[in-house]
């Protein structure tokens, strides 16, 4: 296909996908998917995968959609690694409209009026990230929702790549597996419910970071802790020496942590413990903590610090009872890198060089589905969708960057074949 034909195919798919509402809602993974709307997206993609010609298309009871594009190889071809691509179907809930009304605009500089009726404007002075895209076509929101390039740009990318491969029998490639998962935005619950027997790959990719050239193979180690403090209630007229106030104890507990090791005071690969929530009543208080660090040893130290501070609180007020549950959420992709699977990362840089894309390697202060998948022995680095301002009504997607992301996907599939020879 010619460049403009590729862009048209990508944009057609992307616009169609973002018009299907599929917000997820945080529920601690109690029900997966967290919203019924994600089933609509999954069933749409299921039909498309089947019509494209993928085999073993399966939609699980957790709304995880998988499929297999069998290898297309000459009879005497050596073994080619099986590669996978994973994207999430949900869009983030940031209290905007779940209904996306995308617009295609040619950016000539200055402000972009997203919604004249509601006076919603993306101002260039507030969004310097617009400047490199003067003269390009962008897809933007109407100001009332996120755009959903996170992660439907990736889905459009993958689906277009699959369509290209099945439509060209002269193009050799190894086995390609795909997984479209729900509930990434609220805890990676889709990838945590994958059946990996349906994703038997040597390595995989997510396409879930931002601007042209971004590459991520280092993410946080992430966990959470829920600390419940049980006090003693009493009537104020007879409370002296009796009342144990769990709300104040929760404040005392939080104050035991270093205020400089919080999200607002750290950057780069610096970790933190984030007090996200305190809920209390006269008898109990619950403190919810997020634990993050790129370094595994420091991450484990932070978990031990929570346990040590709980013991300090017990010593401060022996009459209180404190319970704690702690769990790991995902791991640092970099910890899964070995000499055997490093090809997955090396191929990104080689493909970018071929495509004249300047790489921008980032240590992500967050995680992706690949952060969990990598803990299962499948190294899953991440590369750019092309979109910017994720989780915002000022999210936008430069169409040339979307095309470059697709070209990178195709180049990675080709490299897996080439390097087997």
The helix (run of H) or strand (run of E) holding residue 382 is strand 382-384
Give CA–CA dist 130/213, Å, rounded.
Answer: 16
User: Do strands 55-59 and 65-69 pair parallel, antiparallel, or not at all (unpaired)?
Assistant: antiparallel
Which pair of structure tokens corresponds to residue 223? 């966990």
Which token pair is 203? 């390595």
User: What token pair was written down for 150?
Assistant: 């996170």
Whether 184 is catalytic: yes
The Cβ-side half-sphere exposure at 114, using a 13 Å CA radius, reads: 24
Residue 44, phi then psi, degrees to nearest 5: -60, -45
Rg over alpha carbons for the chain, rounded to the nearest Å, is 24
What's the rounded Cα separation, in Å, for the pair 356 and 75?
33
In 70-157, the DSSP E strands lie at: 83-88, 103-106, 112-115, 120-122, 137-140
How far CA 356 is from CA of 157, 211, 352, in Å, comes to 19, 15, 6
Contact 67, 166 (CB under 8 A): no
Cα–Cα distance for residue pair 50/52, rounded to 1 Å: 5
Looking at residue 59, the DSSP 8-state letter turns out to be E
258 is catalytic: no
Q: Which of 7, 37, 90, 208 is catalytic?
A: 90
Q: Look at residues 410, 399, 408 and name the one whose alpha carbon lies nearest to residue 12.
A: 399
Backbone angles phi, psi at 381, to 5 degrees: -70, 175
* 254 in Cβ contact with 277 (< 8 Å): no
Of 7, 184, 293, 369, the active-site residue reads 184
Q: Residue 62 and residue 89: Cα distance in Å, rounded?
A: 12
Tokens of 363: 């240590």
Active site (catalytic) residues: 90, 184
């Amino acid at each position: 296909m010619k460049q403009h034909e590729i862009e048209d195919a990508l944009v057609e798919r992307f616009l169609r996908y973002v018009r299907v509402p599929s917000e997820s809602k945080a529920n601690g993974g109690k029900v997966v998917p967290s919203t019924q709307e994600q089933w609509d997206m999954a069933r749409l993609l299921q039909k498309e995968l089947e019509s494209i010609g993928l085999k073993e298309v399966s939609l699980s009871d957790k709304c995880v959609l998988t499929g297999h594009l069998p290898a297309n190889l000459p009879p005497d071809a050596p073994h080619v690694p099986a590669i996978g691509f994973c994207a999430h179907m949900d869009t983030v809930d940031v209290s905007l409209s779940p209904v996306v009304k995308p617009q295609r605009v040619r950016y000539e500089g200055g402000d972009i009026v997203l919604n004249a009726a509601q006076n919603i404007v993306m101002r260039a002075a507030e969004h310097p990230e617009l400047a490199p895209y003067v003269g390009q076509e962008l897809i933007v929101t109407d100001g009332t929702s996120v755009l959903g390039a996170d992660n439907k740009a990736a889905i459009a990318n993958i689906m277009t790549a699959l369509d290209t491969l099945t439509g060209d029998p002269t193009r050799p490639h190894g086995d390609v597996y795909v997984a479209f998962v729900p509930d990434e935005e609220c805890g990676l619950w889709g990838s945590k419910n994958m059946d990996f027997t349906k994703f038997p790959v040597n390595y995989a990719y997510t396409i879930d970071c931002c601007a042209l050239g971004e590459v991520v193979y280092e993410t946080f180690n992430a966990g959470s802790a829920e600390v419940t403090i049980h006090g003693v209630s009493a009537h104020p007229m007879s409370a002296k020496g009796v009342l144990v106030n769990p709300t104040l104890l929760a404040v005392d507990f939080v104050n035991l942590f270093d205020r400089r090791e919080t999200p607002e005071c750290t950057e780069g690969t610096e970790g933190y413990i984030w007090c996200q929530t305190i809920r209390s009543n006269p008898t109990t208080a619950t403190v919810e903590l997020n634990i993050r660090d790129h370094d595994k040893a420091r991450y484990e130290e932070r978990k031990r610090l929570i346990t040590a501070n709980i013991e300090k609180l017990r010593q401060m007020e022996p009459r209180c009872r404190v319970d704690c549950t702690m769990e790991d959420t995902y791991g640092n992709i970099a910890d899964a890198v070995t000499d055997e699977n490093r090809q997955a990362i090396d191929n990104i840089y080689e493909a970018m060089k071929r495509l004249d894309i300047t790489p921008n390697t980032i240590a992500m202060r967050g995680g992706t589905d690949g952060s969990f998948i990598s803990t299962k022995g499948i190294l899953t680095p991440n590369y750019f969708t092309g979109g910017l301002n994720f989780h915002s009504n000022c999210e936008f997607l430069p169409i040339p960057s979307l095309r470059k992301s697709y070209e990178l996907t195709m180049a990675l599939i080709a490299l897996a074949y080439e390097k087997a020879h």
